Amino acid sequence: MSDALKEMYTVEFLQEFSEKVHAVFSNFEPEQFVAAVLAQPWPELPLMARMRRIAEKLGEFLPARYEDALETLFSIDADCCGFPYLFFPEYVALFGQREEHWELSMRALERFTQRSSSEFAIRPFLLREPEWVMERMKRWAQHPNEHVRRFSSEGCRPRLPWGVALPVLKKDPAPVLAVLELLKADTSLYVRKSVANNLNDIAKDNPAAVLEAARRWIGQNPNTDWILRQGCRTLIRKANPVAMELFGYADFSKKNISFQNAALSVSPKELSIGESCELSYSIEVTGSKPSHIRLEYGVDFIKANGKPARKLFLLTDKTIPGESCLSGTRKHSFAELTTRRHYPGLHKITLLLNGQEAAQTELYLMEGKNDCQ
C-alpha cells in the first residue's frame, strides 16, 4: 500500500503546495523547493522517507527561525488537510525538539493533527521525555476535538504500523493504559478504533495488563465493551482462556458441553501456488444451553526456512442453540499477496472450535506454473 501512496506526491502536488507557501512568505522559492525535493534519490524513496524529505527541504526554504517557520505553516494549514500533509507534523519532529521549543511544538502537533495526523511526529518526543509527553497525552485525551483525542491514543501505540517503536511503553504499558482509561467510553468511533488497536498492541507484549483492564472496564458502557472486544481480538484468536471466558465463549473442557463428529476435507488435495481450493467442514455441538462459539480453520503455511507457521481464518463467531450442527464450505486462495508469500510443501489444515483442534486434513502445494519455467 505504501508504494502506491507515495505516488501522491506528484510534481503538480508539490507545485501547488509551494504556491500556497509563497503566497504567505514571499522569500519562499517554489521552483527551487520542488527541484530540491525531487532530486536523487527521490524515485527510490518509500512513503515515509518522502514525507521526511519534504519536511527536511522545508527546513531549508522556510524562515530560519523556528517560530517564524511555524507561523508560515499555521497561515496555510487550513488549506492543507488530509494524509498527504503529514509532513507538517514531521517538520515539527525534525526542527522543534530544542528544549525552548517544546511547548510550541506540542501546540503545533495538537493543531496539525486536526488537519492530518501527528501520530508519527510525537514519537521522537516520547522517546526523549516519555513521562512529560504522556502527561500531555492525558490532557489531549480530554480534548473536545475527536482528532486530538484519537492522537492521544494513536501516538502512544507501542506497535504503531510505520511508526518508530516505543520500547519503554512496550515494557511497561501502564502510562498508555492511563490514557486509554480516559478514552474507554469515547463517543467517537474514530477514537474507539484507535483505543482498540492500542489495546491489541499492548496485548501482544503484556496480555495480563490488558486482561486486568478488561475485567475492570467490561459491562459498564456499550462503547467500552466494543473497544474491549476489538482490543482483545488477538487474545481471542489465540484462545487465551481468560479472554475466552471474559467474552462468554463456551468452555469445551467442561462436562456440560462438547463437540463430536468433526470433519474437514479439501479439494483438490494438490494444487499450485496461485490456485484455490475448497474446504468442506462439519461439526456437531452438544449441550443443554445456548453457547457462544468461534469456528476457525488454521493453515500451517510453509515458510522460506521450510518450517510451518499457522494462520487462522474465521468461519463464524456466534451464539448457537444447545444442540447444533455447523457445516459449510469455504474457498481458500493460495495466490501471492504483499503480506504473504507461499512456498511449496505439505500444508496441514485444522478445524478449530473455541481454540480446540477438532479435525484436520492436508494438501500439497506445488510451485506455480510461472515459477517452474
Closest CA to 96 of 48, 127, 59: 59
Q: Which residues of the chain have pLDDT under 70?
A: 1-2, 369-373
- The pLDDT score that the predictor gives to residue 372 is 40
Q: Is the distance from CB of 166 to CB of 176 less than 8 angstroms?
A: no
pTM of the full structure: 0.89
- The pLDDT score that the predictor gives to residue 255 is 75
User: Which grid coordinates belong to 153?
Assistant: 491514543
Q: How far is residue 196 from each of residues 22, 227, 229, measured CA to CA in Å?
A: 42, 5, 8
- The pLDDT score that the predictor gives to residue 288 is 83
- The pLDDT score that the predictor gives to residue 187 is 97
- The pLDDT score that the predictor gives to residue 322 is 85
- The pLDDT score that the predictor gives to residue 298 is 97
Chain segment 237-253, per-residue pLDDT in tens: 999 999 999 999 999 88
Residues contacting 14, CB < 8 A, separation 6+: 33, 34, 37, 38, 54
User: Which grid coordinates belong to 288?
Assistant: 443443554
- The pLDDT score that the predictor gives to residue 339 is 84
Which class for 57: exposed (0-12), middle (13-18), buried (19 or more C-beta within 10 A)?
buried
